[in-house]
Structure 1
Amino acid sequence: MKGRQILLDHLDGREAAALMVDGQLDDLLIDADTPRPGTIYRAVTDRPVKGQGGVFLKTPDGAAYLRGVKGIGPGETVQVQVTGYAEPGKAIPVSHKVLFKSRYAIVTPDAPGLNLSRSIRDEDARDALLALAHEGMGDSPMGLIIRSAAATADPSEVAADIDAMHALAEAVTADQGTGPEVLAEGDGPHVLAWRDWIDPAEVVTDAGCFETHGVLDAIDRSKGPFVALDGGAGMYVEATRALVAVDVNTGADGSFAAGLRANLACARRLPAALRVRGLGGQVTIDLAPMPKKERKTFEAALKAALRKDEIDTVMAGWTPLGHYELQRKRARLPLTEVLV
């Protein structure tokens, strides 16, 4: 099926959202039993980690780890935000830079100033959105970022979004309590889908829509390592203890250009394959054979694909053996852990 579809349903009693693009599963969000990214805690400092510039914190959901802090002693209270999922046996990763993010607006308490997304280029739209920003923030010392989705949105919806995030930010930052506590819950899959999947799409909310629209079949395929690529090629995406290994194969195509075609197909499909499987960390790609002069072509295709992906990924480069490496933020739980 051509086009984009956003499907909101439940899996095994868990809230879930799926994005289908031209009949393929492009993204998948499933609620987990761990703290949601975006959750804001009032935490209490526990003990510093010598030589690493970090400190362990006590939160209602267990130990958290905060990097890059100085001058904080044991027993102090600090507001922090969950930035991702904890690896097995490790503390919850948090940041002291708290953001209040919605579909159209991001309020930044520690970064004053009114800013617009660079992708909003129309001068009339920029002027109108800046006027909404000034009206919504008033003389607040907090900062505001207007997101790209606001460019085509109803001004009243943008204004309401700014007001809601500003009010939440003021309520949370004004907290004077003591002891570990959750101050704001992170967004669940349905809200995240509304917040971040902003391109035009058909939205389906019927109960059981995952089954009727082929999402369940796509999820079953994603539990396995194989990903079909254009032209009969394929790749295997497998997580090991140390890294995520990607092996690209040309399939039955034995022509001279088969390797390049398979590698370009891998570049276009890899971000979605990693997103859906919830894989991050170090990613090593064993590409199909291709001339060295085509490496720049592959890098350009991969860079273009990653530009559309919101999960932070560093293109680390080539190894002496000709593999290509990425370093990707662990922004999702592995699919095999969420759906046991």
Structure 2
Amino acid sequence: MRTIEITESDGILLAGLVVDGRLTDLAAERPARPGLSGAVFLARVERVDRVSAAAFLDIGTGRSAFLPLRGPEADALRAGAPVIVQIIADPRGDKGGGEKGAEATRDIALPGATVIHLPFSANVAVSHRLGPAAKRDWQQRLAGGWIVRAAAAAVPPDQVLAEAQRLGRRWEAVADRAETTRAPALLEPAPGAARRLILDHPDVARVVVDGAALLPPLQRWAAAAVPELASRIAGGPTPLGDALDALLAPTVALPSGGSITIEATRALTAIDVDGGRSPDHLRTNREAAAEIARQLRLRNIGGTVVVDFISMRRGGDKAAILNAFRAALADDPLKVQLGEALSPLGLAELARERRGQALAAIIET
């Protein structure tokens, strides 16, 4: 059974996906200092750097946001001009010990449970999991910019179209606010950890909310945004807060007796696989591949990740581990790019999309 559990522990909001009693995904945030990822702003252009093809924006938070520019955008934008943007990466520390501002995009995306609205696009993209027949069908049913998510396969088409209408009206309200507001201004707040996880997993059997203050606003939001799910949201105890200590520990034990150790640096995240007492290195590497894919999601690790698997001599074993790792990463809701081959020393390199702050960064702030 798949459930979502939501609770607040020591000032941190936790939302976790639990599959058959095992935590597989975790989203976290500090409600007192919510992240910006997903928020839509009417920003004011501070300056345009044509050398780096980027604009620096005032979004009203006291720290400039960074907007990469493509082609003619660098010539079209002028200092002082208003521009609608969405934050796709929260501010984070850089290699020099400072902090990089939030990263923005002009490709606005308003997420729903079955569709994502792209108001500045004219294309309809369909999840490859739905197949070519569904792709043709949805491209005929929808007009404008949309991404049809895999979850659309589990509900009637009318439900998907109803959600598309809600998202269309929501964008119209955002656009109206932009017309009557002076930059910089927040047009649409970030969805937050709990709401984003619910939208990513609308097929859960239930959503359990531990906290009298958390339940009513979440129920009101669900009634408006995902009414089909609203009846499955209820109060109740959750053990989610107990998972934090284990998720902050650098070492994770594997069933075979081996372990993985996770260490974050400024440039990348390094993960070492240790065989421990296990003589079967292939088995330990397989276990590690599955657990690393899980830990990336639980700890919200983004950017470059290098995994040092236990060395294997046979080329067939290396290929088997890489295939197992690729399969374990396939269900990640964020974009993951895995290298085509292991290095001679057994290193695997991947890049994982950043969404919000890593769990460790949230806990430490």
The alignment's TM-score, normalised by the length of structure 1, stands at 0.86
Alignment counterpart, residue 251 of structure 1, candidates 276, 287, 293: 276
The equivalent residue for 1:266 is: 288
For 1:275, the aligned partner's letter is: R
User: In 2, are the aligned partners of 1:9 and 1:210 still within 8 Å (CA)?
Assistant: no
Flag the 1:303–1:210 CA change in 2: closer, same or farther, 3 A.
farther
For 1:266, the aligned partner's letter is: A
Q: Secondary structure at the match of 1:111?
A: coil
Flag the 1:67–1:327 CA change in 2: closer, same or farther, 3 A.
same
The equivalent residue for 2:216 is: none
Alignment length, in residue pairs? 327
Post-superposition CA distance 1:26-51 (Å, at most 9, x none):
11111232533110010011122342
Looking at structure 2, the residues matched to 266 and 313 of structure 1 have their Cα atoms a distance apart, in angstroms, of: 17
Looking at structure 1, the residues matched to 236 and 114 of structure 2 have their Cα atoms a distance apart, in angstroms, of: 31
The equivalent residue for 1:107 is: 117
User: In 2, are the aligned partners of 1:286 and 1:323 still within 8 Å (CA)?
Assistant: yes
Post-superposition CA distance 1:274-307 (Å, at most 9, x none):
2222222221111112224121111111111221
Looking at structure 1, the residues matched to 134 and 102 of structure 2 have their Cα atoms a distance apart, in angstroms, of: 43
Flag the 1:172–1:213 CA change in 2: closer, same or farther, 3 A.
closer
Looking at structure 1, the residues matched to 308 and 209 of structure 2 have their Cα atoms a distance apart, in angstroms, of: 39
The equivalent residue for 1:53 is: 53
Is 1:82 equivalent to 2:84 in the alignment? no
User: In 2, are the aligned partners of 1:34 and 1:85 still within 8 Å (CA)?
Assistant: no
Flag the 1:210–1:287 CA change in 2: closer, same or farther, 3 A.
farther
The Cα of 1:199 is off from its aligned counterpart by 4.5
The equivalent residue for 2:244 is: 219
Post-superposition CA distance 1:182-207 (Å, at most 9, x none):
11112122211220024544432243
User: In 1, are the aligned partners of 2:322 and 2:342 still within 8 Å (CA)?
Assistant: no
Looking at structure 2, the residues matched to 291 and 320 of structure 1 have their Cα atoms a distance apart, in angstroms, of: 9
Looking at structure 2, the residues matched to 108 and 240 of structure 1 have their Cα atoms a distance apart, in angstroms, of: 35
The equivalent residue for 2:39 is: 39
Q: Secondary structure at the match of 1:245?
A: strand
Is 1:231 equivalent to 2:253 in the alignment? no
Flag the 1:322–1:145 CA change in 2: closer, same or farther, 3 A.
closer
The Cα of 1:146 is off from its aligned counterpart by 2.4
The Cα of 1:248 is off from its aligned counterpart by 0.5
The Cα of 1:22 is off from its aligned counterpart by 3.8
- Give the gaps of 5 or more residues in structure 2: 94-98, 213-233
Alignment counterpart, residue 19 of structure 2, candidates 14, 18, 21: 21
Is 1:280 equivalent to 2:302 in the alignment? yes
For 1:146, the aligned partner's letter is: V
Output aligned runs, 1:192-207, within 5 Å. 192-207=196-211
Q: Secondary structure at the match of 2:130?
A: coil
Looking at structure 2, the residues matched to 284 and 116 of structure 1 have their Cα atoms a distance apart, in angstroms, of: 31
Post-superposition CA distance 1:60-103 (Å, at most 9, x none):
22310000241112111111101122212111111111111110
The alignment's TM-score, normalised by the length of structure 2, stands at 0.81
The equivalent residue for 2:352 is: 328
The equivalent residue for 2:3 is: 5
The Cα of 1:226 is off from its aligned counterpart by 1.3
The Cα of 1:163 is off from its aligned counterpart by 1.3
User: In 1, are the aligned partners of 2:44 and 2:58 still within 8 Å (CA)?
Assistant: yes
The Cα of 1:273 is off from its aligned counterpart by 0.5
Q: Secondary structure at the match of 2:67?
A: strand
For 2:327, the aligned partner's letter is: A
Post-superposition CA distance 1:223-258 (Å, at most 9, x none):
10112223222111111233211111122112xxx1
Alignment counterpart, residue 144 of structure 1, candidates 143, 146, 169: 146
User: In 2, are the aligned partners of 1:106 and 1:144 still within 8 Å (CA)?
Assistant: yes
